[in-house]
Amino acid sequence: MKRLLLLLAPLGVFADSVTLTDGTFLRGQIERASDGYLQVSLPALGGLVQRIPLQKVESFRTDSPVAVSIGGVVNRGIASASAGRVASSGGAETCDLNSRFELWREPEARPLDSRGQRKWTMQADFDLSGHSGVAQGSGFSAGYQAKGVKETDTVLASIRVVRATAGNQTSADDLHLNLSYETNPTNIVFWYARTDSGYDNARRVDFFSVNAIGLGLRLFTDGAGKLDARVGLAHRTERYATPGQANLSAPSADLGLVLTRELGWASLDSSLSFVPSFQRTADYYIRHESTLNLLRGPGPLSLRVGLSNDFRSIPQASQSKWDTTYFARLTYVWK
């Protein structure tokens, strides 16, 4: 039996549709077609762009006019494809659904002309949160993220500031600066490099940094999301504010999982990073975050609820190993 996976955009919002040869049905926005691939942005997955080989496309139809190159002639209109042929309401010509077919939206964004250019998506967010572990308390965090995607790789930069208090006591006061780079998977393999640096005053860490490089594996992907694994080498550094506490500088492994999944009633994003030291097997660091996107609409705003955990197997004296944050996050996305 063929799979039928329906990714619905919010009610009342029109969208392009794509049907794959295995019966999968996608609803979103067709961004472009070039070099034998159809790129579809899926609002139900927070704007995740799926790159689908044209040989796996049974049919598609755009809801609004787009530009297409059909047999060397550029037409603008509603584009559709079925039975291996592409047509446009802007002209009578048709062409084969193959690697020579191009589709794009903005006049300056023709794949042939914009090849190699990076497309950026920005995100700003603010949340109210509660904390437990090192100290109980409530507060807020604010963050900004920039994601640049091109045909061969993806660059991601983000910063997050967290503040929380419990009476006169600080339960959270930290900053995370993240930078990452990864190549687009060739079959299932890709390469990545990342850094997570900042400070954590509640844990009396003046500076921390995890720098890693390694191999990524796309364990699973379909129209509803993906699951990636990462295996690499890292170096973990921590400088402490506690007098007499020896600073940490240790070569480590970098192991991780990244999951993105559409659940129908919400979308799930989850990441897990495990950094064990090569010097002492009992010394390791775990960072986890999971969010559910509950309120999604056609505009740039969305509301997420989530949970994050910070675990150090060997904490400083009198400190808890676990530090947990739970939050409700308002997110604004633009391009």
Mind listing the pLDDT tens digit for each residue in 259-318? 998 887 788 999 999 999 998 888 999 999 999 998 776 678 889 999 999 999 988 877
Helix (H), strand (E) at residue 111? helix 111-114
Is the pLDDT at 11 greater than 60, yes or no? no
Tokens of 236: 């973990």
Report the range of poorest mean pLDDT among 10-24, 139-153, 317-331. 10-24
Is the pLDDT at 335 greater than 70, yes or no? yes
Secondary structure class of 211 (helix, strand, coil): strand
Mind listing the pLDDT tens digit for each residue in 109-119? 677 655 567 87
Secondary structure class of 189 (helix, strand, coil): strand
95 pLDDT tier (thresholds 50, 70, 90): confident
Residue boundaries of the structural domains of the chain: 16-114, 119-334
Q: Which pLDDT score is estimated for 2?
A: 37
Q: Which pLDDT score is estimated for 307?
A: 94
Q: Which pLDDT score is estimated for 116?
A: 64
Q: Which pLDDT score is estimated for 105?
A: 84
Q: Which pLDDT score is estimated for 114?
A: 57
pTM above 0.75, yes or no: no
Average of per-residue pLDDT values in the chain: 85
- CATH code of the domain made up of 119-334: 2.40.230.20
Is the pLDDT at 148 greater than 80, yes or no? yes
Q: Are β-strands 169-183 and 66-70 bridged in parallel, bridged antiparallel, or unpaired?
A: unpaired
> Rounded to whole angstroms, how far apart are CA atoms 99 and 113?
16
From first CA to last CA, the distance across the chain in angstroms is 39
